Amino acid sequence: MSGVFDTLGRLVARAPRRTIAVWAVFTAVCFALAFQGVGGQTLFERLSSGAPAVPGSQSATADEILTDESLAGPTLTLAVQGVAPADTEITEELGAVLAEPRTELLGIPGVAAVIDPFVLPGGPASPAATPLVAADGDGFLVVVELERDLDDAVESDALAAVEDRLDRIPAELSQVAPGVSGQVGGTTLIIQAITDQVEHDLATGEAIALPIALLVMVMVFGGFLAASMPMAGALASIAGGIGALFALSHWLDMDASVVNVVTLLGLGLSIDYGLLIVSRFREELHTLVDVDQGAAVRKRRGDGAVETALRRTMQTAGRTVAFSALIVAISVSGLIVFEPSILRAFGVAGVAVILVALATAMTLVPALLRLAGRRLIQPGLVHRIPGLRAILARTGDVVAEEGVFSRLAARVQRRPWTVLGACLLVLGVLAIPLAHIELRNSTIELLPAGSDQRDYVQTIGEQYPASESPAVIVVAEGSIEEVAEWSAGLAEVPDVLSVDQVAPVGPYVVVGVRPDTADPGGAVAREVVLAVRDVEAPFPTWVTGQAANQIDFTQALVDRAPWAIGIVVLATFVLLFLMTGSVVIPVKALLTNAISLCASLGVLVWVFQDGNLSGVLRFVSTGGIETYVVALIIAFGFGLAMDYEVFLLSRIKELHDAGYSNDDSVRLGLQRSGRIITSAALIIIVVFTGFVFGELLVIKEVGFSLAVAVLIDATLVRMLLVPATMTLLGRHNWWAPRPLRRVYRRFAITH
């Protein structure tokens, strides 16, 4: 195995400029594809949004039927406010003002109909106009419906033209009714608002994370030159990740949130891996070059010390990075097992971005190291800044055998039972809120409070309840008479406020059920869905709506979770066994990571479901956690935890194989890896926290919870819990049954 990494190091060392040139071209092409697109369509224009669905479930089947059988195309609606349409003094004038825009709207290619209260017989005062007039009488709707199955380009142009014309109507109405205002909304605009917010949040997150990450690495390495190496890899990873997502968007339906989540994962991992590679290279070069004698900085290709240091780095840190990336990729790939397409997209895209981060760490960063050579171990310009020399002497990477981390490990080893109990107590307390977790599948609630489309939806819900879809929708395959007779009994279901009249939709019949609650995804709505599904019918029925979608999504997670967990646990166990030769260490790692994840999820529930810190983090709680966020936190959080586990274990195993005792291996291994683990953790926390400053709720939840997961893992778990448990287990850490020891001797992954 080490021969592969040695060969890679040798090849990169002998062609560094060519390697960098290839990455430069690759980066430029990926950015061009993602932001300029092919045929004018960019990555962000290819994204979709909406409640995640489970193919084949009741809710998904009902939604497909409603979409397929609908005779209407997309609609845009103008909600006019600040004018009473039924006011007899201005009704006629309002109708006259609307006549011209109505004619212009009908003249737009692709527009099928324009409806407002003034075109109906009897005008705004007629019963037929009730759904189009505000409940308080101080507003009305103008609804524009497009033809169905329009060409994409025609539909896009029509929607843009309709939106523009609707936007200008309030100003025209103000001539008759001063103070009038309006909001234009619709499904397409909601999706556009979410994708625009994704793009904005991505830029915000990177603008915050990258400069702070660079500053942290300057403190870690004591100079800008070494710190720039992982940052160069991170920028290439961002480009490669976005390019990979653009390519995958032609194969998978890509939800808008996928871009931010997997990009921040790739960004964090590429910096982590680059940090490990650069640090180990400097360590190896220090052992080969006597800096104190003032060795000249040599850049020529024949500098044997630099090439040797690079090859040793690839054999050790390169192997660790590859092993870590493999485990993280396996953790993320567990999402592919689940039925919901959004989770599969996260899984495939996540693996692709992880591979890009691995490629930059294994080729681009080493190439940059080869060109920089011995300059990386010379004092940089920042050492000349007054006051920084002393700070950098403490934070910069060092090769001392003893230090703050070895002393910390020694203290833990003196009282392992106390440390173990204290860590488990803290983690247990943090996990308590997880007991009352509520899962949600939100749509418009993902947008920040105050956004135009969220305000529009709120206005429709409050002022036009007759225009709002019922929270529970039943699609039945029967005659109108049969369904009407059956649906009458639904009014007797507990917590049902009313049942709408049946309506034919193609060969199907639709029944709207309105629960006695204002929350379409809350507990009351879910109970109504379950009760309606239990009502026997003499014909096929399918129940949909937000609550039904949540129930189906949650059940899909429960059904496939054993498979996903089993695959990830088995693969992780096998890989850690092949790395350590122990069956105890993999089991311990899996258990500690599970406890750590429960604590992280508990904090997530306490903050986002219970609404604590909502003012600080600027969000409005939906009363639950997004269903797929939980799956993402488990997959990504487990992968990141194993990332640091591998960083630590690789050093401990190295020392153990060199003949050190178990306790000395743990103590010195923590000293050699502790600075890298804490530095990498700090950087990835900065990266994830940068995305908390975005506005999209799901990105806030993912960024915050992963930052918390890394914080818990890099402090309580890696620095305290792992040394305590390994001290208590002693030589049993390295135990394996005799048959497995033979397997290890044959297939071991060693330096």
Task: Judge whether 58 and 544 are in contact, CB under 8 Å.
Answer: yes
pTM: 0.82
Residue 696 has a CB neighbour count (10 Å cut-off) of 27
- HEC string of 185-235 equals ECHHHHHHHHHHHHHHHHHHHHHHHHHHHHHHHHHHHCCHHHHHHHHHHHH
Kindly state the percentage of the chain with pLDDT values over 90. 38
Count of residues making up the chain: 751
Calculate helix-pair angle for 546-580, 523-534, nearest 10 degrees: 100
pLDDT tops 60 at residue 382: no
pLDDT tops 80 at residue 301: no
pLDDT tops 80 at residue 615: yes
CATH no. for 403-471+545-751:
1.20.1640.10
**Mapping DSSP to helix (H, G, I), strand (E, B) and coil, where does residue 184 land?**
strand
* Residue among 370, 284, 268 nearest 325 (CA): 268
Task: Judge whether 52 and 162 are in contact, CB under 8 Å.
Answer: no
At residue 399, the pLDDT reads 53
**Mapping DSSP to helix (H, G, I), strand (E, B) and coil, where does residue 716 land?**
helix
Task: Judge whether 230 and 214 are in contact, CB under 8 Å.
Answer: no
Residues 6+ apart with CB under 8 A from 15: 367
At residue 474, the pLDDT reads 95
pLDDT tops 90 at residue 529: yes
At residue 750, the pLDDT reads 62
Residues 6+ apart with CB under 8 A from 323: 575, 579, 646, 650, 749
Confidence of residue 271 (pLDDT cuts 50, 70, 90): confident
At residue 432, the pLDDT reads 97
CA distances from 493 to 62, 490, 497, 539 (A): 21, 5, 9, 19
Instruction: Please state, rounded to an integer, the average pLDDT across all residues of the chain.
Output: 86
| Fold agreement (1-42+222-399, 403-471+545-751) | yes
CA distances from 375 to 381, 399, 681 (A): 11, 17, 26
310: left (phi over 0), alpha (psi -120 to 50) or beta: alpha
Task: Judge whether 698 and 447 are in contact, CB under 8 Å.
Answer: no
Give the pLDDT mean for 688-716.
Answer: 88
Quote the CA–CA distance of 732 and 615 in Å, as a whole number.
49
User: Tens digit of pLDDT for each residue in 25-58?
Assistant: 999 998 888 877 766 677 877 777 666 788 889 9
604 is written with which tokens?
Answer: 């997530």
Task: Judge whether 381 and 223 are in contact, CB under 8 Å.
Answer: yes
At residue 388, the pLDDT reads 53
Confidence of residue 717 (pLDDT cuts 50, 70, 90): very high
Task: Judge whether 475 and 65 are in contact, CB under 8 Å.
Answer: yes
Give the pLDDT mean for 486-497.
Answer: 92
147 is written with which tokens?
Answer: 């033809």
pLDDT tops 70 at residue 472: yes
Integer-rounded Cα Rg, in Å, for the chain is: 30
Quote the CA–CA distance of 166 and 101 in Å, as a whole number.
8
Confidence of residue 582 (pLDDT cuts 50, 70, 90): very high
Give the pLDDT mean for 180-195.
Answer: 87
User: Tens digit of pLDDT for each residue in 240-251?
Assistant: 888 888 888 888
pLDDT tops 60 at residue 291: no
Candidate from 96-105, 164-173, 272-281, 685-694 with smallest mean pLDDT: 685-694
pLDDT tops 90 at residue 551: yes
**Mapping DSSP to helix (H, G, I), strand (E, B) and coil, where does residue 641 land?**
helix
* Residue among 436, 438, 435 nearest 622 (CA): 438
At residue 696, the pLDDT reads 82
Confidence of residue 650 (pLDDT cuts 50, 70, 90): confident
581: left (phi over 0), alpha (psi -120 to 50) or beta: left
Place of tokens 């006695």: 516
Confidence of residue 290 (pLDDT cuts 50, 70, 90): low
pLDDT tops 50 at residue 293: no
At residue 1, the pLDDT reads 54
Q: Residue 48 gets which letter from DSSP?
A: B
Q: Residue 249 gets which letter from DSSP?
A: T
User: Tens digit of pLDDT for each residue in 384-415?
Assistant: 555 555 555 555 554 556 778 889 999 999 99
At residue 111, the pLDDT reads 93
* Residue among 712, 699, 750, 665 nearest 264 (CA): 699
At residue 2, the pLDDT reads 58
549 is written with which tokens?
Answer: 């979608």
Structural domain boundaries in the chain: 1-42+222-399, 74-190, 403-471+545-751
Spell out where 472-611 has E strands: 472-476, 496-499, 503-505, 508-515, 541-544
At residue 298, the pLDDT reads 44
Quote the CA–CA distance of 572 and 564 in Å, as a whole number.
12
Task: Judge whether 300 and 336 are in contact, CB under 8 Å.
Answer: no
User: Tens digit of pLDDT for each residue in 95-141?
Assistant: 889 999 999 999 999 999 999 999 888 888 888 888 899 988 899 99
Task: Judge whether 446 and 696 are in contact, CB under 8 Å.
Answer: yes
At residue 196, the pLDDT reads 80
Per 3-state DSSP, the chain is made up of helix, strand and coil in percentages (nearest 5) of 70, 10, 20
621: left (phi over 0), alpha (psi -120 to 50) or beta: beta
Residues 6+ apart with CB under 8 A from 528: 471, 472, 493, 494, 495, 496, 513, 515, 547
Quote the CA–CA distance of 751 and 732 in Å, as a whole number.
23
Give the pLDDT mean for 136-162.
Answer: 90
Task: Judge whether 76 and 162 are in contact, CB under 8 Å.
Answer: yes
pLDDT tops 70 at residue 296: no
Fold of the domain spanning 74-190: Alpha-Beta Plaits (3.30.70)
* Residue among 360, 308, 304 nearest 6 (CA): 308
Q: Which of 345-349, 389-393, 408-412, 746-750 has the highest mean pLDDT?
A: 408-412
Kindly state the percentage of the chain with pLDDT values over 70. 93
Task: Judge whether 285 and 374 are in contact, CB under 8 Å.
Answer: yes
Give the pLDDT mean for 171-200.
Answer: 86
Confidence of residue 299 (pLDDT cuts 50, 70, 90): very low
CATH architecture of the region 1-42+222-399:
Up-down Bundle (1.20)
Task: Judge whether 667 and 413 are in contact, CB under 8 Å.
Answer: yes
CA distances from 87 to 68, 169, 397, 541, 575 (A): 40, 19, 77, 45, 75
